[in-house]
Amino acid sequence: AARAVVRCGAVRCMRGAARAGAFVTRAAAAVRGRGRGGRARARRSSGAMARDDAPSVLVPMAHGSEEMEVVIIADVLRRAGARVTIASVEDDGLVCSCSRGVKIVADASLAEASASTYDCVVLPGGMPGAKRLADDARVMAIVEAQLQSERGITAAMCASPGVILAPRGWLNGVASTAHPAFVKDLPSDASAQGRVVVDGRVITSRGPGTAIEFALALVEALFGKDKAMEVAGPMVLPPREKAALVANEWTLES
């Protein structure tokens, strides 16, 4: 039987014992933080190198996180040149078994990654991954500090707006959306039908099917509109259906 391992920006496929000739690509990031007051500095061992002064992004990950969201968020942001660190919150190592059984190898443990501050903190969804992130006091401290910072961006999608942000009052007075199953947990559903919703420095989205748009909204927030358009072009995205937008809904075209 085939066994697939996604390794933070790369894929390693092994079919049974026949490993010879298998395609193996590894892209590991080593976090070189300069303390809580500094900005995270991450480098990957292969692929495009991010500039040391590029925006930094933290993506916490747990067992049960949504694998499509984790990978798409990291991939799109790295295409833009961001320094992305996927950090495992688990005590049993860097490999997380995601919501559909896909195993993803983190760049670092959260203990290592939390030594730095970030321009953007992104919470993927998936269950029970979102609950495991919500139950981790370290993740909550990072998110709270990010929300209180003057410039940092806080982003969450799928289950995470309802499971992580809303119960702590962090979405009160903020336009937001979430996966349809978790809209009931938002303080307001006024913008819940939006695929990606931006309100100041808080960005939320709905699920795996909106992950690329969500990631491009993050690219725009960190790099500007031109970079988002540049990254989106080669990805050959389908044209967006013309429909009325809800309050604070983001689109690449608008």
Catalytic residue numbers? 158
CB atoms within 10 A of CB 223: 18
Tokens encoding 173: 């007075």
Q: Are strands 120-123 and 56-61 parallel, antiparallel or unpaired?
A: parallel
Extract the runs of DSSP E, i.e. beta strands, from 98-252. Answer: 103-105, 108-109, 120-123, 153-157, 196-199, 202-205
Query: Between vectors from CA 99 to CA 113 and to CA 130, what angle results, nearest 5°?
Result: 55
Measured distance CA(27)–CA(8) in Å, rounded: 7
Measured distance CA(60)–CA(154) in Å, rounded: 12
